[in-house]
Amino acid sequence: MATTPTKKAAPKKAADAAEPKLRIRVRAYEHKILDLSVKQIMDTANRFDAKIVGPVPLPTEIKRWTVNRSTFVHKDAREQFEMRIHKRLIDILSPNPKVIEALTNLNLPSGVTIDVKMV
Protein backbone atom coordinates (compact mmCIF):
# COMPACT_ATOMS: atom_id res chain seq x y z
CA MET A 1 0.00 0.00 0.00
CA ALA A 2 1.52 3.29 -1.09
CA THR A 3 1.06 6.32 1.08
CA THR A 4 0.82 9.75 -0.38
CA PRO A 5 2.71 12.54 1.31
CA THR A 6 0.41 14.89 3.15
CA LYS A 7 0.76 18.58 2.71
CA LYS A 8 1.41 20.53 5.82
CA ALA A 9 -0.04 23.97 6.22
CA ALA A 10 2.55 26.67 5.77
CA PRO A 11 3.22 28.46 9.04
CA LYS A 12 2.13 32.07 9.10
CA LYS A 13 4.95 34.48 8.75
CA ALA A 14 5.78 36.46 11.84
CA ALA A 15 6.48 39.49 9.66
CA ASP A 16 2.83 39.57 8.48
CA ALA A 17 1.51 39.46 12.02
CA ALA A 18 3.90 42.17 13.21
CA GLU A 19 3.35 44.48 10.23
CA PRO A 20 2.60 47.97 11.58
CA LYS A 21 -0.78 49.38 10.74
CA LEU A 22 -2.25 52.84 11.21
CA ARG A 23 -5.92 52.58 12.23
CA ILE A 24 -7.98 55.73 11.73
CA ARG A 25 -11.50 56.08 13.15
CA VAL A 26 -13.44 59.06 11.86
CA ARG A 27 -16.68 60.22 13.53
CA ALA A 28 -19.13 63.01 12.66
CA TYR A 29 -22.77 63.97 13.07
CA GLU A 30 -23.30 64.64 9.35
CA HIS A 31 -22.53 61.86 6.88
CA LYS A 32 -21.74 64.21 3.99
CA ILE A 33 -18.99 65.99 5.90
CA LEU A 34 -17.73 62.62 7.12
CA ASP A 35 -17.48 61.23 3.58
CA LEU A 36 -15.62 64.35 2.37
CA SER A 37 -13.15 64.03 5.26
CA VAL A 38 -12.58 60.32 4.54
CA LYS A 39 -11.97 61.12 0.87
CA GLN A 40 -9.45 63.79 1.88
CA ILE A 41 -7.61 61.31 4.14
CA MET A 42 -7.55 58.67 1.40
CA ASP A 43 -6.29 61.14 -1.22
CA THR A 44 -3.49 62.19 1.13
CA ALA A 45 -2.47 58.57 1.75
CA ASN A 46 -2.64 57.74 -1.98
CA ARG A 47 -0.36 60.66 -2.78
CA PHE A 48 2.41 58.91 -0.84
CA ASP A 49 1.64 55.45 -2.31
CA ALA A 50 0.37 53.97 0.94
CA LYS A 51 -1.75 50.83 0.86
CA ILE A 52 -5.24 51.56 2.19
CA VAL A 53 -7.96 49.24 3.48
CA GLY A 54 -11.35 50.90 3.70
CA PRO A 55 -13.23 53.03 4.37
CA VAL A 56 -15.31 50.57 6.34
CA PRO A 57 -18.65 51.99 7.51
CA LEU A 58 -19.21 51.19 11.17
CA PRO A 59 -22.70 51.04 12.73
CA THR A 60 -24.32 54.43 13.26
CA GLU A 61 -24.67 55.25 16.95
CA ILE A 62 -28.14 56.66 17.69
CA LYS A 63 -28.89 58.44 20.95
CA ARG A 64 -32.58 59.15 21.66
CA TRP A 65 -34.32 61.33 24.25
CA THR A 66 -37.99 61.83 25.08
CA VAL A 67 -38.93 65.08 26.82
CA ASN A 68 -42.26 66.39 28.10
CA ARG A 69 -43.45 69.39 26.06
CA SER A 70 -44.98 71.12 29.05
CA THR A 71 -44.98 70.70 32.78
CA PHE A 72 -46.87 68.45 35.16
CA VAL A 73 -50.43 68.12 33.76
CA HIS A 74 -49.88 67.40 30.05
CA LYS A 75 -48.09 64.06 30.31
CA ASP A 76 -49.29 62.94 26.85
CA ALA A 77 -47.58 65.83 25.04
CA ARG A 78 -43.99 64.75 24.45
CA GLU A 79 -41.16 65.52 22.06
CA GLN A 80 -38.60 63.02 20.85
CA PHE A 81 -35.08 63.91 19.83
CA GLU A 82 -32.28 61.83 18.37
CA MET A 83 -28.63 62.36 17.60
CA ARG A 84 -26.86 60.18 15.02
CA ILE A 85 -23.10 59.64 15.08
CA HIS A 86 -21.75 58.24 11.80
CA LYS A 87 -18.42 56.37 11.85
CA ARG A 88 -15.85 55.12 9.34
CA LEU A 89 -12.70 53.04 9.76
CA ILE A 90 -9.59 53.28 7.57
CA ASP A 91 -6.46 51.13 7.85
CA ILE A 92 -3.16 52.22 6.31
CA LEU A 93 -0.80 49.26 6.03
CA SER A 94 2.91 49.80 6.75
CA PRO A 95 2.81 53.61 6.75
CA ASN A 96 6.01 55.54 6.14
CA PRO A 97 6.88 58.72 8.09
CA LYS A 98 5.86 60.98 5.19
CA VAL A 99 2.30 59.63 5.29
CA ILE A 100 2.07 60.10 9.07
CA GLU A 101 3.36 63.67 8.82
CA ALA A 102 0.93 64.51 6.00
CA LEU A 103 -2.00 63.11 7.99
CA THR A 104 -1.09 65.11 11.10
CA ASN A 105 -0.96 68.32 9.05
CA LEU A 106 -4.35 67.60 7.46
CA ASN A 107 -6.98 70.32 7.94
CA LEU A 108 -10.39 68.68 8.48
CA PRO A 109 -13.73 70.51 8.87
CA SER A 110 -15.14 71.21 12.31
CA GLY A 111 -17.46 68.55 13.68
CA VAL A 112 -15.22 65.70 12.52
CA THR A 113 -13.43 63.71 15.21
CA ILE A 114 -10.46 61.59 14.23
CA ASP A 115 -8.73 58.89 16.31
CA VAL A 116 -5.39 57.55 15.06
CA LYS A 117 -3.88 54.43 16.58
CA MET A 118 -0.87 52.27 15.70
CA VAL A 119 -1.85 48.61 15.74
| DSSP assignment of 18-44 | T--EEEEEEEESSHHHHHHHHHHHHHH
The span from the CA of 26 to the CA of 38, in Å, is 7
Contacts of 82 (CB under 8 A, 6+ apart): 62, 63, 64, 65
Higher-confidence residue of 99 and 5: namely 99
Does residue 24 contact residue 87 with C-beta atoms inside 8 Å? no
Instruction: For residue range 42-94, list pLDDT tens digits in order.
Output: 999 999 888 999 899 999 999 999 999 988 788 889 999 999 999 999 999 98
Give pLDDT, residue 76. 87
Higher-confidence residue of 2 and 53: namely 53
What is the average pLDDT across 4-32? 75
The secondary structure element, H or E, covering residue 90 is: strand 78-93
Does residue 54 contact residue 92 with C-beta atoms inside 8 Å? no
CATH class of domain segment(s) 31-68+76-118: alpha beta
Q: What residue segments make up the domains of the chain, in order of their start?
A: 31-68+76-118
Stated pTM of the model: 0.75
